[in-house]
Amino acid sequence: MCGIVGYVGKQKAAPLILEGLKRLEYRGYDSAGVAVWQDGHFEVAKKTGRVANLEKEAARHKLVGSAGIGHTRWATHGGVTDANAHPHLSSDGQIALIHNGVIENYVSMKKFLLAKDYTFKSETDTEVLCNLIAYHYAKEPAVAGESRLLESVRKTLRHVEGTYGIVVMALDLPEELVTARKGSPLILGLGEGENLVASDVAAIVSRTQNVVYLKDGEIARLTPKNFAISTLDEADITPVIDKVNWSIADAEMGEYAHFMEKEIFEQPVALENAMRGRFSEDGSTAQFGGLNITPGEFRGIERFMFCACGTALHACMVTEHLIENFARIPVECDYASEFRYRNTPLFRNTLFFVMSQSGETIDTLAALREAKRKGYKVLAVNNVVGSTIAREADGGIYQHVGPEVGVASTKAFTSQLLIGAMLALYIGRMRDLSFGAGVRYVNALKGAPDLVRQVLKQAPHIRTIARRYAHHTDMLFLGRLSLFPIALEGALKLKEISYLHAEGYPAAEMKHGPIALISEKCPSVFLAPKGEIFNKIVSSMQEIKARKGPIIAIVTEGAELPPGLADEIITIPECHEAVLPIVASIPVQLLSYYIAVERGCDVDKPRNLAKSVTVE
């Protein structure tokens, strides 16, 4: 969850590392730090809070060296203090280290090191790892043509239980970084006379678009002109150099106040990108390049299982509804974090899917591995090219929406909804969905970006509504069928960015408990599109109104509600069932966003959260 950047080259390392850390801040923002090798010592600056605090601190330290490491922290072991911020130095001052992950056996290691007179300044597992490397480094003989640092990191990691993405420097090797991963992403950036390493492409793309994605169990040594990768078992790896297909401008905020706002308004284009080239020539179905499964094999699937976390799980739930409805195949969805520990009976001929924007969520990755261990094929819907999930899945579908920086997922979510709808179409057309119904479905999906544009035009109206409700402390989101997951998503969005208590419920379920919360102080957002159960939803609204609960109704244009029933009305255009969840997501995203803004919350970096959750 933490952000990592390392640089070795001819430029001053600190400004490049700080720039990279700013781009990684969404990964963790409890504290940040940088260490640079200069004049025979490590100059270290670290500070709790945002990278902006670190910048001020770094200015005091006059960091001029051309090799260094930097880190943004999301606290696991030890509180949010300057001492616990990374980089950590070993007590003999020889080793500097940054780390993402959790060292599970750090207690026994620390005991061992204390007995050898190593001392500790922080409460972190990372400082223990740093000292253990120093211990091995001190004992490692210098062998011509071999890296002492690499060997001692290798030896140390053989004793480590847990997860890590680390970058290490040694005091007597000013032009060398050693980096290794197990469970935490690391990417090498290959430049001209300089090399970089980071937990995320965003931190290095301003310097180079040539990257190598490290795999679990790999360790790399970087110098300004060279890099070499091997495994912990000392096998040499031939690197595969990839080209990043987006530029730094994609990860900048431009004219917007927040990344979340930018990403909400980017959705029409994001949807266009996610569907580009993915419809058949006859315009009646979807097609995907990377499924690695033949139509015949697909035809034999009798059940689907979807696993994900948070927002991505809500996208899976909508997909479940659409596949069951259009392809008539049973689908099960589960929290990835539960699936990995539940001993779920799985049917034969089940195709397993995971969804993950980042492709690094540890619970989703663990679910993927568990399903593969049981012998199932696992496909992934994923946004970040080269992510661990993308690489470990048997095939999959990239979302192609560019970097999503706001911690609250928006454009990644609607593109997952789109891909889910396309999957339902693809499978449906192999079964009972007719050519004509397929063509109508495809045309509806193609029209989705324009419908989203129409809803976005209501932003000023939704902002006015947000102002009226921003001071409330509780809110319900109610929807039915494919919009029940959108109600869950609305509640999640509001909770995470505005710290307001919100719950999502199936609208009719509300009377089985949550109705007790209703009063003039608890507004309800109803997702009430035109359709066969519109009148049932109106009845649920009446039940809320009878108890003085304020109602914000999201209804189809032209819908007739009994006069005075809704306090606020937001309209969405009439649309195909496959497109409805996408279109209905926009008002709940905008409402949550504007409420958070009204409440003065830090929208892009909500407290306690990180964009990508790479620890359990």
What angle separates helix 411-430 from helix 310-327, to the nearest 10 degrees? Answer: 20
Least distance between ligand M6R and beta carbon 403 (Å): 12
Q: How far apart are CA 601 and CA 608, in angstroms?
A: 13
Residue 498 binds ligand M6R, judged by CB under 6 A: no
The residue within the footprint of ligand M6R, chosen from 18, 130, 318, 408 (CB under 6 A), is 408
Within 8 A by CB and 6+ apart from 606, the residues are 407, 408, 496, 497, 499
Residue 361 binds ligand M6R, judged by CB under 6 A: yes
Least distance between ligand M6R and beta carbon 381 (Å): 9
Nearest to ligand M6R by Cβ — which residue? 310
Contact 88, 46 (CB under 8 A): no
**Which helix or strand (DSSP H or E) is residue 230 part of?**
strand 227-231
Residue 199 binds ligand M6R, judged by CB under 6 A: no
* Residue labelled with tokens 């071999």: 146
Contact 319, 482 (CB under 8 A): no
Distances (CA, A) of 313 to 254, 335, 465, 485, 584: 30, 7, 28, 9, 17
The residue within the footprint of ligand M6R, chosen from 407, 527, 551, 552 (CB under 6 A), is 407
Residue 185 binds ligand M6R, judged by CB under 6 A: no
Question: Which residues pair with residue 219 across a beta bridge?
Answer: 180, 230
Q: How far apart are CA 167 and CA 181, in angstroms?
A: 9
Residue 318 binds ligand M6R, judged by CB under 6 A: no
Cis peptide before 587 (omega within 30 of 0): no
The site for ligand M6R, by CB under 6 A, has a size of 15
Residue 311 binds ligand M6R, judged by CB under 6 A: yes
What does the radius of gyration of the chain's CA atoms come to, in whole angstroms? 26
Q: Would residue 611 show up in a list of annotated catalytic residues for this protein?
A: yes
What count of other Cβ atoms lies within 10 Å of the Cβ of residue 298? 14
Q: How far apart are CA 345 and CA 440, in angstroms?
A: 37
Which of the residues 51 through 110 are near ligand M6R (CB under 6 A)?
none
The three-class DSSP label of residue 172 is coil
| Strand ranges across the sheet with 524-528 | 501-506, 474-479, 524-528, 551-556, 568-572
| Contact characters 265-304, ligand M6R, x per CB under 6 A | ----------------------------------------
Least distance between ligand M6R and beta carbon 288 (Å): 19
Among residues 2, 309, 316, 601, the one annotated as catalytic is 2
Classify strands 551-556 and 568-572 as parallel, antiparallel or unpaired: parallel
CB nearer to ligand M6R: pick between 67 and 610 = 610
| Contact characters 597-616, ligand M6R, x per CB under 6 A | ---------------xx---
What angle separates helix 267-275 from helix 411-430, to the nearest 10 degrees? Answer: 30
End-to-end alpha-carbon separation of the chain, Å?
10
Classify strands 218-222 and 173-182 as parallel, antiparallel or unpaired: antiparallel
Least distance between ligand M6R and beta carbon 582 (Å): 16
Among residues 46, 262, 495, 611, the one annotated as catalytic is 611
CB nearer to ligand M6R: pick between 21 and 312 = 312
Phi, psi angles (nearest 5°) of residue 590: -65, -40
Q: How far apart are CA 303 and CA 306, in angstroms?
A: 10
Least distance between ligand M6R and beta carbon 492 (Å): 6
Q: How far apart are CA 89 and CA 330, in angstroms?
A: 54
Least distance between ligand M6R and beta carbon 263 (Å): 11
Specify the DSSP class assigned to residue 66: S
Specify the stretch interacting with ligand M6R by CB under 6 A; choose among 78-86, 355-363, 462-470, 588-596. 355-363
Least distance between ligand M6R and beta carbon 453 (Å): 22
Specify the stretch interacting with ligand M6R by CB under 6 A; choose among 65-73, 196-204, 401-409, 563-571. 401-409
CB nearer to ligand M6R: pick between 279 and 593 = 593
CB nearer to ligand M6R: pick between 128 and 407 = 407
Phi, psi angles (nearest 5°) of residue 164: -160, 150
Specify the stretch interacting with ligand M6R by CB under 6 A; choose among 166-174, 190-198, 246-254, 305-313. 305-313
Residue 585 binds ligand M6R, judged by CB under 6 A: no
Residue 409 binds ligand M6R, judged by CB under 6 A: yes
Least distance between ligand M6R and beta carbon 466 (Å): 18
Residue 589 binds ligand M6R, judged by CB under 6 A: no
Residue 415 binds ligand M6R, judged by CB under 6 A: no
Residue 309 binds ligand M6R, judged by CB under 6 A: yes
Specify the stretch interacting with ligand M6R by CB under 6 A; choose among 18-26, 403-411, 540-548, 566-574. 403-411
- Secondary structure of the chain: what % helix, strand, coil (to 5)? 40, 25, 40
Distances (CA, A) of 16 to 5, 302, 554: 9, 52, 46
Least distance between ligand M6R and beta carbon 396 (Å): 13
Our separate counts of H helices and E strands in the chain read: 18, 25
Q: Which amino acid is at 484?
A: F
The residue within the footprint of ligand M6R, chosen from 163, 184, 319, 364 (CB under 6 A), is 364
Q: Which amino acid is at 498?
A: S
Residue 357 binds ligand M6R, judged by CB under 6 A: yes
Least distance between ligand M6R and beta carbon 498 (Å): 12
- Pick the closest to residue 81 from 150, 127, 145 (CA basis): 127
Distances (CA, A) of 214 to 2, 25, 165: 17, 21, 10
Within 8 A by CB and 6+ apart from 608, the residues are none
Contact 480, 536 (CB under 8 A): yes
CB nearer to ligand M6R: pick between 524 and 612 = 612
Specify the stretch interacting with ligand M6R by CB under 6 A; choose among 110-118, 338-346, 356-364, 591-599. 356-364
Specify the stretch interacting with ligand M6R by CB under 6 A; choose among 218-226, 227-235, 351-359, 371-379. 351-359
The residue within the footprint of ligand M6R, chosen from 358, 388, 482, 556 (CB under 6 A), is 358
CB nearer to ligand M6R: pick between 312 and 425 = 312
CB nearer to ligand M6R: pick between 350 and 382 = 382
Least distance between ligand M6R and beta carbon 405 (Å): 12
Residues noted as catalytic: 2, 611
Query: Which residues of this protein are in contact with ligand M6R, per CB under 6 A?
Result: 309-312, 356-358, 361, 364, 407-409, 496, 612-613
